[in-house]
Amino acid sequence: MPQTFPQNKGSVLDIVNLTMNFGGLRAIDAVNLHVKQWEIVALIGPNGAGKTTIFNCITGLYKPTAGDIFIQPPGRKRKRVTGMKIHKITKRGMARTFQNIRIFSNMTALENVMIGRHCRTKAGVWEAVLKNKRTRKEEKDIVSQSYNILAKVGLTQAVNELAKNLPYGAQRRLEIARAMATEPFLLLLDEPAAGMNPYETKELDELILRIREEERISILMIEHDMKLVMSVSDRIYVMDYGEKIAEGSPSEIRENHVVIKAYLGEEFDA
């Protein structure tokens, strides 16, 4: 278990009493959650527990009914991001992937990553039309940085392929590459191993650890593959019916009776 990594830095993400109602349905009920710097945190729970809803609130797709989301990128001030515009939240350094892959399928792998890079560069419409020296250099940098990111996730061979023509595992990695291109301090992965075979899952395991190691960022992931969860996470949150029912280290969670009950149902003597 990668517990040797420098720990105990401050939180980069703080979720306080987050509540989300859809009409009469309470999808998340006063959930508290935090992610520290360089930490890999897993969010698990049965289907419909509200995990993806939390992601949607963090990234601004949903406006939470109540509660607050604070971020504190390393070396920056603490900031409340609740209800901020989606693209502004991305600019502040949070990037995500989706359960069902959402790459730009009619663009090449390289273009997908370049789109992600654009939010970290300046050139506006006029610069793009006029193409002065600085803009040309910036464009060049974007291309070379994008190549590097693709190399990191092992997609060097596929740069000019249309995204929709890539094999499934590669599309997943491309989605992670595009998220990385926005230079996040926190990467949110929504079921990154969904639909992967054991070999691909193992590769993903290594990729997640390598991203943390090389990019020095935090990762919050939703995942159902317990082997992956137990092997990479520092801490685990467990949710059921919109509520947080447990949190702790992988070994603590494995022993937790409430968690076992949520997953397997009530134990009773026959």
In terms of Cα–Cα distance, which of 54, 24, 49 is closest to 221? 54
List 4, 23, 24, 129, residue binding other proteins (CB under 8 A) = 129
Please tell me the distance from the alpha carbon of residue 247 to that of residue 75, in angstroms, as a whole number: 27
Pattern of binders to other proteins over 130-149, x per CB under 8 A? Answer: ---------x----------
List 7, 46, 61, 261, residue binding other proteins (CB under 8 A) = 61
Pattern of binders to other proteins over 109-128, x per CB under 8 A? Answer: --x--xxx-xxxx-x-x--x
For residue 86, state whether it binds other proteins (rule: CB under 8 A): yes
On whether the CB atoms of residues 66 and 43 are closer than 8 A, the answer is no
The total of other beta-carbon atoms located within 10 Å of residue 93's CB is: 19
Give the largest CA-CA distance in the chain: 78
Closer to other proteins by Cβ: residue 125 or 270: 125
For residue 91, state whether it binds other proteins (rule: CB under 8 A): yes
Please tell me the distance from the alpha carbon of residue 239 to that of residue 225, in angstroms, as a whole number: 15
List 70, 104, 147, 241, residue binding other proteins (CB under 8 A) = 104
**Minimum distance from CB of 91 to other proteins (Å)?**
5
Please tell me the count of residues contacting other proteins according to CB under 8 A: 33
Closer to other proteins by Cβ: residue 67 or 116: 116
The total of other beta-carbon atoms located within 10 Å of residue 176's CB is: 23
79: β partners: 71
Q: Following DSSP, what letter does each residue of 109-124 receive, concatenated? A: HHHHHHHHHHTT----
Which residues in this chain contact other proteins in the complex, by CB under 8 A? 59-61, 85-87, 90-91, 95-96, 98, 102, 104-107, 111, 114-116, 118-121, 123, 125, 128-129, 139, 178-179, 181-182
